[in-house]
Amino acid sequence: MPSWKFLSRARPHDPQFDSELRFHIDRLTEENIAAGMKPEEAWRRAVLEFGGAEQIKEELRDVQRIPILETTMKNFRWALRFVRKTPSFSIVVILTLALGIGANSAVFSAIDEVLLRPLPFPQGDQLIFLHQYNPKVQTPQTRLAPVRLEEWNRMNSTFQGLAGYYTEDGSETSGPLPEKVTEALVTPRFLQVLGVSPALGRDFSPDEEHFGGPHALLISDRFWRRRFGGDPNALGNKLRIDGFSGSIVGIMPASFAFPSPDVDVWASVPTDAPFAQDRGSTWYLTIGRLKPGVTLEQARANLETVQAQLGKQFPQTDAHLTPGIAPLKEATVGGVRSSLWMLFGAVSLLLLIGCTNIVALLLARGAQRQHEISVRLSLGASRFAVVCQLLTESLVLALTGALIGLFVAGEASNVFRGLAKELPRVEEIHLDARIVLYTLLCSVLATLVCGLFPAIRGTRGNLSGALAQASRSQVSSRTPLQWFLVGVQVALAVTLLGGAALLLRSFQALGRVSPGFEASHVLTFHVSGSWGETADMKGLTQRIDHIIETLRNTPGVGAAATSAELPGVPTEFQTELKFVEGPADPRHKIVAESRFVSPGYFSTVQIPQLSGEPCQEPKFIVSPGAPGGVRLEANSVTVLVNHSFADTYLPGSKVIGRHLQVLGNAFLRPEDAGTVRGVVGDAREEGLNRQPGPTVYWCIGAPDPDPYYLVRTATEPMALAETLRKEMHQIEPARSVFDIMPLEAHLNDAFSENRLRTILLSFFAVTAVSLACVGLYGTLSYSVTVRRREVGLRLALGALQGQIVRQFLAQGLVVTFLGCLAGWGLAAAFARVLSGMLYGVSPSDVGTLLSVVLLMLLVAAFAALIPSLRAAHVDPMQVLREE
Amino acid sequence: MPIEKSDLLQGTLDMLILKIVTLGPIHGYGISQRLRQISKEVLLVQQGSLYPALHRLEKRGWLAAEWGESENGRQAKFYKLSAKGKQQLKKEESNWNRLAGAVASILQTAQ
């Protein structure tokens, strides 16, 4: 007796068994006594006649036992036998499920980590991202000025604290060679707000957070291992970054990656420094931690009151500002939400197609097993027991599929991470218990979806009929349902294919746009610099000019320039402008994208000059009162405007020679008016996917200490990388050169989310179409098998092979066509979901959808052709002999 | 020659029990007596092995059971046929007759 039997013992001892059996033995004994035996002998004989009472009691218990476990074990054994006996069927089902469940789990793991989980900070949902909002300018959301951040922090009553940060790339020169480091410059309270402490050492002390205090640094775990080999004695060492020396006071935990995983060093920037008191500056990205129980709305109202007070106190700078707040998680991942859910929807459709496919296969299989099932039912098996057994079979298949699916998901999420480098929080994506659980859930659901219906259907109906029919199969009455399922698969596959085709078309359209500049043969890189250098604008400008000059004279370089932003990579910096000449028209504001470039920019990226002259670098004059002791010489700033600007704001009149002022910008003051020297062609500066708008190019090559350097090369851009690095090291030995990359690579990266979803959706769509074809093929093959006799008869009676082929082919294609029609409708709905992700193609583009349908029909025709041909080659004699 | 239980098809024993129970509520001992008498001692079922069969039939809902007083005044478990059991018996009888008829005709033709 198996040892697990005790598990299901329902009643260990039933006194009723005893009395029932004793009654029988007593009666036998009485009978024996009546026949003349002595009582002893009579009883002995009775027991003997009755048989082993203990064994019988055990049997009775067996009968009464609730046989869940045994039945389950038995079902599993049968299911395993079934899987082994039908390997090709099982492999198809298992692989389909493995793909479906695997892809589903991979995308779900991304959604789980990126969207569902709280940020990896204690009480991450209390963390809020803040900005200031100025409705008067086109890019109204800006970073905070240090003073305002401190005021908000002091005056509010809903936050535990606010802190700001920004990052810049610097050069660390305490080692033998300068090393590029990414530095996060943070305000006081930074770590307290995040709720994180260093793994080793300590947070900044109050002294270190005030102006004039010692310079202290926190370093990342990665930097600690790279630079100090993980030695705890690194604490107290000094680093020298861009000329500022500070000692390491703490090492952050490896899991800490805020604001980005690239950060090597966190340095405290005092907000009480004299140079940080300008209310117009926009330095800090700002985060805050809500007090427990405070809602977002309460916090918003509270900050609005605070800002209203400040607006009264500083009407010039603060009157128009309002605070903007959003959960930090939303601010971090909000942008990819729709993409991820779209992919999840797509991959769920894929799983659904897979399940539909399996339902069709199981139905066909069930029809073949009709006889076996009927025999079982007629032998007294209850319908419930047979359904359970059939479900166990699907469960075994689904679980095996899910297990393989987990491996698929593991691999898939690696691929996903590789493709989605730009995705926020992508480094957090991994498989864990939740994903395993999710996968299990998927497989149980898949079982129910795939198995229940065929099982119920298979066990229904007239027993004796099925038995009598035995192998003499008629034209099957069961196929309409299977054909319906094939239609569903085709419809879903067309939906996915339609979506993928629209994304592909947008991707192509994006590649085909003529951006107005020439991105090929341009190499870009950075040379480290720090914001501290802006104290000496003249020196900074000279330094950058010198670099540009050196680059231009390097052999192999056609032209060189700097630009604050890269052309074509989505960014915007909209500013409100005003012509110095003539009265301003308050109803027609002049708003334009401002780009800061050195004069060589236009020849480097080949934006044509349409009229006027090239622009020039501004001049500086000594001015003791100004920051850094110099200021821009009046009228020395020159600008070029693009064609669209001239057309929009000065149609028909002369634009060259006019003077433009910037309103509401900290860097260019109204007195630094720029003279328009010429007009250049329109270029898609703000992103390849956007039409060029009015743009003003300020010819200032050193707007910040670390602009992009752009170099036009004669040959493949990266071939020049080493030469340029050496040149730079000669003239700037203390600075590091980094991020050397062709401009085209930047453009690719900028649209990597786009690429990710296009690649994934295309992959899903192709899989879906293949599954639909497998479904069509399987169902048609089954139908051919079932109708062999009929086909054989017809052939014997003189039907032509061509007619048979046409008939089966038509059956497959009509279903496919109907599926395509339904799919067209679904695809149109799906396209509406996609509309925000499309470029240069309308969501209801008939051409795209039509070609998708044609493609589907074509592929389906191939899938249907093989079984149809096989049908035509049925040998009538053989079929008739089989009967 | 008597037929041992192992030779007796399980379904056949069930059918015989159902048939005997049609006559009215009866306890296990009574059933075994009847079986012996009616079959003229041909069917020698070890008497105890009747009970697992009885319990199985009860569990399937073909027999209903009740404790009651026996003819000698003692408590005994009485079995009677349920509606479902009646149907089942009808089915089994007709199956049996068909089978027996078929077997008989084969045997006759073969002679």
Is the pLDDT assigned to residue A647 strictly greater than 50?
yes
> In 3-state terms, what secondary structure has residue A759?
helix
Q: How far apart are CA A290 and CA A284, in angstroms?
A: 19
- Chain A nearest-CA distance from B91, in A, is 11
B10 φ, ψ (degrees, to nearest 5): -60, -45
The confidence band for A664, taking pLDDT boundaries of 50, 70 and 90, is low
- Which residue out of A11, A18, A19, A23 would a mutagenesis test of the B interface target, given it has the greatest number of B Cβ atoms within 10 Å? A23
The pLDDT, as a whole number, for residue A8 is 43
Which chain B residue has its CA at the smallest distance from A60's CA?
B52
The pLDDT, as a whole number, for residue A139 is 59
Residues with Cβ < 8 Å from B84, sequence gap 6 or more?
B60, B61, B62
The gap from C-alpha A798 to its chain's centroid, in whole angstroms, comes to: 60
The pLDDT, as a whole number, for residue A477 is 46
Nearest alpha-carbon partner for A551 in A711, A708, A699, A701? A711
Average pLDDT in chain B: 81
Residue A746 or residue A622, greater confidence: A746
Which DSSP string do the residues of B72-89 spell out, in sequence order? Answer: TS-EEEEEEE-HHHHHHH
The pLDDT, as a whole number, for residue A587 is 65
Nearest alpha-carbon partner for A615 in A606, A631, A602? A602
Question: What angle is formed at CA A191 by the lines to CA A185 and CA A197, rounded to 5 degrees?
Answer: 125
Q: How far apart are CA A190 and CA A38, in angstroms?
A: 102
**Chain A positions in Cβ-Cβ contact with residue B47 (cut-off 8 Å):** 24, 28, 49-51
Is the pLDDT assigned to residue B110 strictly greater than 80?
no
Element (H, E) at A765: helix A752-786
Cβ pair A50:B47 closer than 8 A: yes
For A427-430, the CB contacts below 8 A with 24+ separation are: A427/A257, A427/A261, A428/A113, A428/A114, A428/A117, A428/A120, A429/A109, A429/A110, A429/A113, A429/A114, A430/A109, A430/A113
Two structure tokens written together for A869: 């041909």
Is the pLDDT assigned to residue A432 strictly greater than 50?
yes
Model pLDDT for residues A234-248, shown as the tens digit of each residue: 999 999 887 788 999
The pLDDT, as a whole number, for residue B37 is 82
Q: How far apart are CA A197 and CA A721, in angstroms?
A: 40
Residue A840: burial class (beta carbons within 10 Å; 0-12, 13-18, 19+): middle
Is the pLDDT assigned to residue A461 strictly greater than 50?
yes
Q: How far apart are CA A690 and CA A230, in angstroms?
A: 47
- β-pairing, A708-713 vs A557-563, is antiparallel
Which chain A residue has its CA at the smallest distance from B65's CA?
A20
Length of chain B (residues): 111
Question: What angle is formed at CA A855 by the lines to CA A849 and CA A858, rounded to 5 degrees?
Answer: 145
Nearest alpha-carbon partner for A547 in A573, A533, A534, A529? A529
The pLDDT, as a whole number, for residue A585 is 66
Q: What is the mean pLDDT of residues A819-832?
A: 90
Cβ pair A20:B46 closer than 8 A: no
Q: How far apart are CA A689 and CA A570, in angstroms?
A: 8
Q: What is the mean pLDDT of residues B68-75?
A: 84
Of A26, A49, A63, which is closest to B55 when you measure between CB atoms? A63
- Supply the Cα-derived Rg of chain A in whole angstroms: 39
Element (H, E) at A698: strand A695-699
Q: How far apart are CA A275 and CA A271, in angstroms?
A: 9
The pLDDT, as a whole number, for residue A235 is 92
Of B29, B48, B76, which is closest to A56 when you measure between CB atoms? B48
For A5-14, A552-561, B66-75, which range has the lowest pLDDT when averaged over its residues? A5-14
Q: Residue A663 forms beta bridges with which residues? A: A576
Q: Which residue's entry shows tokens 């209850």?
A: A382
The confidence band for A342, taking pLDDT boundaries of 50, 70 and 90, is confident
A754 vs A420, A848, B8, CA distance in Å?
A: 10, 19, 75
Q: What is the mean pLDDT of residues A86-114?
A: 83
Residues with Cβ < 8 Å from A171, sequence gap 6 or more?
A178, A179, A180, A181, A241, A242, A528, A734, A735, A736
Q: How far apart are CA A170 and CA A531, in angstroms?
A: 10
- β-pairing, A285-290 vs A159-172, is antiparallel
Sorted by where each starts, the structural domains of chain B and their CATH numbers stand as 3-110 (1.10.10.10)
The gap from C-alpha A435 to its chain's centroid, in whole angstroms, comes to: 16
The pLDDT, as a whole number, for residue A794 is 86
Residue A666: burial class (beta carbons within 10 Å; 0-12, 13-18, 19+): middle
Is the pLDDT assigned to residue B30 strictly greater than 80?
yes
Model pLDDT for residues A477-530, shown as the tens digit of each residue: 456 778 888 899 899 999 999 999 998 998 888 878 888 899 899 999 998 887
**Chain B positions in Cβ-Cβ contact with residue A66 (cut-off 8 Å):** none
Helix residue ranges per DSSP H, B23-82:
28-38, 50-60
What is the value of pTM for the model shown?
0.68
Q: Is A123 left (phi over 0), alpha (psi -120 to 50) or beta?
A: left
Q: How many CA atoms lie within 13 A of A227 on its CB side?
A: 27
Element (H, E) at A32: helix A15-34
Helix A383-419 and helix A370-378, axial crossing angle in degrees, nearest 10: 140
For A362-371, A542-551, A662-671, which range has the lowest pLDDT when averaged over its residues? A662-671
Model pLDDT for residues A67-84, shown as the tens digit of each residue: 667 777 888 888 888 888
- Chain B nearest-CA distance from A360, in A, is 34
The confidence band for A127, taking pLDDT boundaries of 50, 70 and 90, is very high
Q: How many CA atoms lie within 13 A of A525 on its CB side?
A: 25
Is the pLDDT assigned to residue A473 strictly greater than 60?
no
Which DSSP string do the residues of A71-104 spell out, in sequence order? Answer: HHHHHHHHHHHHHHHSHHHHHHHHHHHHHHHHHH
Nearest alpha-carbon partner for A370 in A483, A481, A474, A487? A474
Of B48, B56, B59, which is closest to A51 when you measure between CB atoms? B48
Average pLDDT in chain A: 83
The confidence band for A217, taking pLDDT boundaries of 50, 70 and 90, is very high
> In 3-state terms, what secondary structure has residue A835?
helix
Of B47, B52, B59, which is closest to A24 when you measure between CB atoms? B47
The pLDDT, as a whole number, for residue B43 is 66
Residue A839 or residue A7, greater confidence: A839
Q: How far apart are CA A732 and CA A59, in angstroms?
A: 94
**How is residue A187 annotated by DSSP?**
-
Q: Which residue's entry shows tokens 């993980």?
A: A230
Q: How far apart are CA A718 and CA A816, in angstroms?
A: 50
Which chain A residue has its CA at the smallest distance from B56's CA?
A63
Cβ pair A53:B48 closer than 8 A: yes
The pLDDT, as a whole number, for residue A474 is 47
Q: Which residue's entry shows tokens 């030995």?
A: A733
Q: How far apart are CA A624 and CA A636, in angstroms?
A: 19
Of B47, B59, B72, which is closest to A49 when you measure between CB atoms? B47
Cβ pair B47:A63 closer than 8 A: no
Is the pLDDT assigned to residue A609 strictly greater than 60?
yes
Cβ pair A62:B52 closer than 8 A: yes
Q: How far apart are CA A502 and CA A834, in angstroms?
A: 9
Supply the ipTM of this predicted assembly.
0.86
Q: How far apart are CA B28 and CA B78, in angstroms?
A: 7
**Chain A positions in Cβ-Cβ contact with residue B77 (cut-off 8 Å):** 16, 20, 23
Q: How far apart are CA A344 and CA A556, in angstroms?
A: 48
A101 φ, ψ (degrees, to nearest 5): -70, -40
Is A133 in CB contact (< 8 Å) with chain B? no
The pLDDT, as a whole number, for residue A294 is 92
A60 φ, ψ (degrees, to nearest 5): -60, -40
- Which residue out of A50, A54, A65, A378 would a mutagenesis test of the B interface target, given it has the greatest number of B Cβ atoms within 10 Å? A50
Of B28, B59, B72, which is closest to A24 when you measure between CB atoms? B28
Cβ pair A23:B55 closer than 8 A: no
Q: What is the mean pLDDT of residues A456-481?
A: 56
Burial A56-74 (b: 16+ CB within 10 A, else e): bbebbbbbbeeeeebeeee
Number of inter-chain CB pairs under 8 A, A vs B: 57
Cβ pair B51:A27 closer than 8 A: no
The confidence band for A165, taking pLDDT boundaries of 50, 70 and 90, is very high
Q: How far apart are CA B30 and CA B17, in angstroms?
A: 11
For A120-134, A357-371, A602-616, A662-676, which range has the lowest pLDDT when averaged over its residues? A662-676
Q: How far apart are CA A279 and CA B65, in angstroms?
A: 94
